[in-house]
């Protein structure tokens, strides 16, 4: 009788331990999933449509900053093919520049805030698209 009880207790404890292990593994998976999701936030294909409508006149059809309006501006619009940013060193900051405009960071007011015009998803989509332009084309000159 005693053996059975001990065995039963051991089984319970083991079961509990296994449960805890499974739980923490599931949490680790969830955390990893969130990380992957935040790295890949935004859809570049949808972002291209947003870009063509709103950004292309300044940033250019190749993303090199030489759009028909862009060539007339000083400072020039950012060259996304080069892919170097002045006010942002990661996706979150880039998202904030697109949302709040460059003037909020001491830059050109011609890079206007897009937060009231584009949905949050569209801002992530266009961000993912301009990120995808880095190194894509060789400038004509």
The binding site for ligand HEC (CB under 6 A) comprises 54-55, 57-59, 69, 73, 75, 77-78, 85-88, 94, 97-98, 102, 107-108, 110-111, 114, 126, 130
Q: Residue 44 and residue 80: Cα distance in Å, rounded?
A: 14
Give min distance, CB of 116 to ligand HEC, in A: 12
Q: Spell out a b/e string for 19-40, using b for 16 or more CB atoms within 10 Å of the CB, else e.
A: eeeeeeeeeeeeeeeeeeeeee
Give min distance, CB of 99 to ligand HEC, in A: 10
Give min distance, CB of 73 to ligand HEC, in A: 5
Q: Residue 93 and residue 109: Cα distance in Å, rounded?
A: 17
Q: Residue 65 and residue 99: Cα distance in Å, rounded?
A: 19
Contact assessment for residue 65 and residue 78, using Cβ atoms and an 8 Å cutoff:
yes
C-alpha 84, offset from chain centre:
16
Give min distance, CB of 141 to ligand HEC, in A: 20
**Residue with CB nearest ligand HEC?**
107
- Closer CB to ligand HEC, residue 14 or residue 63? 63
Residue where the block lists tokens 């900051």: 93
- Closer CB to ligand HEC, residue 81 or residue 94? 94
Give min distance, CB of 54 to ligand HEC, in A: 4
- Closer CB to ligand HEC, residue 22 or residue 136? 136
- Closer CB to ligand HEC, residue 31 or residue 71? 71
Contact assessment for residue 66 and residue 60, using Cβ atoms and an 8 Å cutoff:
yes
């Amino acid at each position: 009788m005693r053996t059975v009880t001990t065995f039963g207790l051991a089984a319970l404890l083991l079961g509990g331990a296994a449960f805890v292990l499974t739980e923490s593994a599931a949490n680790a998976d969830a955390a990893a999933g969130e990380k992957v999701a935040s790295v890949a936030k935004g859809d570049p294909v949808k972002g291209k449509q947003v870009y063509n409508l709103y950004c292309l006149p300044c940033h250019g059809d190749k993303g090199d900053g030489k759009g028909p309006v862009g060539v007339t501006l000083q400072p020039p619009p950012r060259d996304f093919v080069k892919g170097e940013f002045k006010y942002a060193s990661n996706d979150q900051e880039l998202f904030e520049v697109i949302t709040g405009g460059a003037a909020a960071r001491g830059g050109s007011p011609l890079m206007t805030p897009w937060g009231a015009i584009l949905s949050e998803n569209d801002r992530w989509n266009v961000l993912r698209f301009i990120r995808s332009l880095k190194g894509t084309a060789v400038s004509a000159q």
